[in-house]
Amino acid sequence: MSLYNKLSDISEGALRKNMGNERRLMRDGVYARIRDEILACVLQPGSRIYENDLAKRYQVSKSPVRDALLRLQEKDLIEVLPRKGYRVRPISVSDARELYEMRLLLERASTEYAAEHATEDELASLDRFRTADENMTLLSWVKYNSEFHRSIAAIAHNSRLVRATQEVIDQFDRLTFVSVSSAEFDITKGKFAGEHGDIIDAVQTRNKRRAGSLVSKHIKNSQKRLMAAFDDLPITP
C-alpha cells in the first residue's frame, strides 16, 4: 500500500471518528434541552409531544430527537404512546409518595454506609458541595443538588445499594424543581446548602447515625414542599 493510500485511510478513519463524536454531541445536546424543558415544566406534565415539532424547534433531524425521547423514557420522564407519539409523564401524587418512601429507605442506608466505609479521600471530595454559586439558576441548582446526593451514594461501597439509590435519585430532578420553585429560591438556597453542609459534617466525622437522621430530615422537608406545591400543578391522584 502506498503512503498516499495509508494517509487516506488514516484521514478517513479520523473523519469517521469526528463525525461520530459530532453526532454524539448533537444527541446529548438535544437530550439535555428536552430534559431541561421537562424539568422546568416548559413541557408540562401530561402534555403530548411529537418528534417533528421538536426537530423543527431545535433545527435537527428526527433521529437525535427520537434517541433523546427514548433515553428520557428510561428516566421515567417520557411515556411512549403506541402509534400516537409521546407524552410527558404526568406527576402523580401516589407515585411521588412511593418515590419518597423508596428514597428515604435507600438514601439513609447509603449515607450511613458512606460514613462507615468511605475512604478519607472520598470523604474529602464532598467538600465541593459545601457552597453553591450565588448566581446559580434554579435549574442549575437542581443538577447540583442531584450530584450532591449521587456523590454520597457513590461512596457507600456497596455496588447494589449505590445503583438502586442513584436510580431513585435520578427520578427526582423534576420533583425537586417543583418543590424548590414553590419556595422563595433566592432566600432558601442558603438554607439548602446549610443542610448539605450538616450532612457532610456528619458523614466526614463518621457519625453514621446522625448522618442518616439528617438526610432523612432533609428528604422529608423536600416532600413537604412538594406536597404544598401540588395544589398549583396539573397532577393525577
- Beta-carbon count within 10 A of 182 CB: 17
Tens digit of each residue's pLDDT, the chain (237 residues):
555 554 455 555 544 555 455 666 788 889 989 988 887 778 888 899 999 999 998 899 999 999 999 999 988 889 988 888 899 988 888 888 999 999 999 999 999 999 999 999 999 999 999 987 777 888 888 889 999 999 999 999 999 999 999 989 988 888 888 777 755 666 567 778 889 999 999 999 999 999 999 999 999 988 888 888 776 555 555
- What is the pLDDT, as a whole number, of residue 151? 97
- What is the pLDDT, as a whole number, of residue 11? 52
From the number of C-beta atoms within 10 Å of its C-beta (0-12, 13-18, 19+), residue 154 rates as middle
Q: Are 62 and 51 in contact (CB under 8 A)?
A: yes
In degrees rounded to 5, what are phi and psi of residue 229? -80, -20
- What is the pLDDT, as a whole number, of residue 132? 78
- What is the pLDDT, as a whole number, of residue 7? 44
- What is the pLDDT, as a whole number, of residue 2? 57
- What is the pLDDT, as a whole number, of residue 44? 84
Total residue length of the chain: 237
List domains and CATH numbers for the chain: 3-88 (1.10.10.10), 92-236 (1.20.120.530)
- What is the pLDDT, as a whole number, of residue 72? 92
Written as one string, the DSSP assignment of the chain is --HHHHHHHHHHHHHHHHHHHHHHHHHHHHHHHHHHHHHTTSS-TT-EE-HHHHHHHHTS-HHHHHHHHHHHHHTTSEEEETTTEEEEPPEEHHHHHHHHHHHHHHHHHHHHHHHHH--HHHHHGGGGGS---TT--HHHHHHHHHHHHHHHHHTSS-HHHHHHHHHHHHTTHHHHHHHHHTS-HHHHHHHHHHHHHHHHHHHHTT-HHHHHHHHHHHHHHHHHHHHHHGGGS-EE-
- What is the pLDDT, as a whole number, of residue 15? 44
CB hemisphere CA count around 110 (13 angstroms): 27
- What is the pLDDT, as a whole number, of residue 190? 73
CA 199 and chain centroid, separation: 20
Q: Are 50 and 86 in contact (CB under 8 A)?
A: yes
CA 208 and chain centroid, separation: 25
Q: CA-based angle 155:153:235, to the nearest 5?
A: 170
- What is the pLDDT, as a whole number, of residue 183? 59
